[in-house]
Amino acid sequence: MPLRIYNTLTRRVDEFKPLVDDEVRIYTCGPTVYDYAHIGNYRTFVFQDILRRQLKYLGYKIRQVMNLTDVDDNTIRNSIAAGVSLREYTEKYIREFEVDCELLSLEKPEISVRATDHIADMVKLIQVLLDKGYAYTTDGSVYFRVAAFKDYGKLANLDLSGILPGARVDTDKYDKTDARDFVLWKAAKPGEPFWEAPFGPGRPGWHIECSVMSMKYLGPSFDIHSGGVDLVFPHHENEIAQSEAATGKPFVRYWLHADHLIVNGEKMSKSLGNYYTLRDLIAKGYRPSAIRYLLASVPFRKPLNFTFEGLHQAQQSIERLRNFRYRLTKESFPAGENPELQARALRGRQAFEAALDDNLNTAEALAAAFELVREGNTAMDHGEFRDADRGAFLDMLEHWDRVFAVLEDTDHAKLLEHGFVKTVTAAASDSVADARPDGGLAQVGTGASSTVAVESLTGEAIEQRVGERDAARRRGDYSRSDQIRDDLLKAGVILEDTKAGTRWKRK
Positions that interact with Zn ion (CB under 5 A) = 29, 210
Those residues with Cβ within 8 angstroms of residue 437's Cβ, 6 or more apart along the chain or in another chain: 490
Q: Note whether 286 and 329 are within 8 A (CB).
A: no
Those residues with Cβ within 8 angstroms of residue 202's Cβ, 6 or more apart along the chain or in another chain: 140, 141, 185, 186, 187, 188, 194, 195
Q: Which is nearer to Zn ion, 210 or 355 (CB)?
A: 210
Q: Which is nearer to Zn ion, 27 or 174 (CB)?
A: 27
Q: How far is the CB of 298 from Zn ion (least distance, A)?
A: 23
Q: Which is nearer to Zn ion, 118 or 485 (CB)?
A: 118
Q: How far is the CB of 214 from Zn ion (least distance, A)?
A: 8
Cβ-based burial of 35 (10 A; exposed 0-12, middle 13-18, buried ≥19): middle
**Per-residue H/E/C for 131-193:** HCCCEEEECCEEEECHHHCCCCCCCCCCCCCCCCCCCCCCCCCCCCCCCCCEEEEEECCCCCC
Q: Which is nearer to Zn ion, 29 or 380 (CB)?
A: 29
Q: How far is the CB of 67 from Zn ion (least distance, A)?
A: 6
Q: How far is the CB of 235 from Zn ion (least distance, A)?
A: 6
Q: How far is the CB of 427 from Zn ion (least distance, A)?
A: 53
Fill in the amino acid letter for 185.
Answer: W
Those residues with Cβ within 8 angstroms of residue 389's Cβ, 6 or more apart along the chain or in another chain: 333, 337, 338, 341, 342, 345, 379
Q: How far is the CB of 152 from Zn ion (least distance, A)?
A: 17
Q: Which is nearer to Zn ion, 256 or 457 (CB)?
A: 256
Q: Which is nearer to Zn ion, 232 or 356 (CB)?
A: 232
Fill in the amino acid letter for 174.
Answer: Y
Q: Which is nearer to Zn ion, 210 or 314 (CB)?
A: 210
Q: How far is the CB of 29 from Zn ion (least distance, A)?
A: 3
Mark out the alpha helices in 297-361 (DSSP H runs): 308-330, 339-357
